[in-house]
Structure 1
């Protein structure tokens, strides 16, 4: 009986992996790095929130939802590439955008836990923000939603 369940589980995992690889345009180094950065950002955000005593399951769930949407947007970008006949151009640009965004968030989390951030890194981050328009609507809405959540949490206390 155990062997049948093992085969079934392996089959479902293989199917899921194949579907994911298709949707994301393969599991190349860009996707692997993006996935690693997503995980590091989420964990560093949890640690920063724990240290600041602002840990919230609602905020954590929202973070997971945002990470899933990043992958969904990569899948959409890959599909656009397929339709237009590009070879991963839009997909790769989308991945790089979110990689930079995740790196910025990880560095911000380092600052939240009291870790000093070197000046050269701050300058590099500022250049990346300007170059990739990272501090656009997505970042602004993230900041405004954080402010709204803090205000809501303080009103509940």
Structure 2
């Protein structure tokens, strides 16, 4: 096997593993990752400008975002266990954390003195509240 085939095989194996772990590479996952990166970046900018930058706080932020991926993996595994052919829990988790990260991102922007359109804030709050309602409805159905 030449080097190119080895590299191609390694990349394919990594891609397959990531797809199995996180479900599929779709818009929800891309938006979640983008919001996580943007939230972290705005948090670092906010800390730098307010002169409270701290490696401990930065590490805690990275740790929290890592746990989001753990919750996402749990949701994917539950969807696989149900074998319904849909990504119910994975989608709920993605949307919930997209809203959560988006709200945090906007809070960082407000702290930096940027005006934020109220409609954008409302959309993220509705997304988060809608996910809470969907999870509560599922929980109530499972208790019956």
Fold in common (TM above 0.5): yes
Deviations 1:24-64 (A, max 9, x none): 10111111111111111111111111111111111111111
Correspondences of 1:24-35 after superposition (within 5 Å): 24-35=22-33
Q: Which of 47, 50, 68 lines up with 1:49 in the alignment?
A: 47
Task: Quote the Cα distance in structure 2 between the aligned partners of 1:20 and 1:8.
Answer: 18
Q: Does 1:23 align with 2:15?
A: no
Correspondences of 1:124-139 after superposition (within 5 Å): 124-133=123-132
The equivalent residue for 2:142 is: none
Aligned-pair CA distance for 1:13 = 3.8
**TM-score (norm. length: structure 1):** 0.72
Aligned-pair CA distance for 1:65 = 1.3
Aligned-pair CA distance for 1:127 = 4.2
The equivalent residue for 1:82 is: 80
Structure 1: runs of 5 or more not aligned: 134-157
Q: Pairwise CA RMSD of aligned residues?
A: 2.2
**Alignment CA distance shift 1:13-1:63 (3 Å):** farther
Aligned-pair CA distance for 1:128 = 4.4
Aligned-pair CA distance for 1:10 = 4.9
**Alignment CA distance shift 1:27-1:130 (3 Å):** closer
Q: Does 1:100 align with 2:103?
A: no
The equivalent residue for 2:112 is: 113
Task: Quote the Cα distance in structure 1 between the aligned partners of 2:93 and 2:126.
Answer: 18
**TM-score (norm. length: structure 2):** 0.77
Query: Which of 64-73 and 13-22 deviates more?
Result: 13-22
Task: Quote the Cα distance in structure 1 between the aligned partners of 2:90 and 2:123.
Answer: 24
Aligned-pair CA distance for 1:122 = 4.1
Aligned-pair CA distance for 1:84 = 1.3
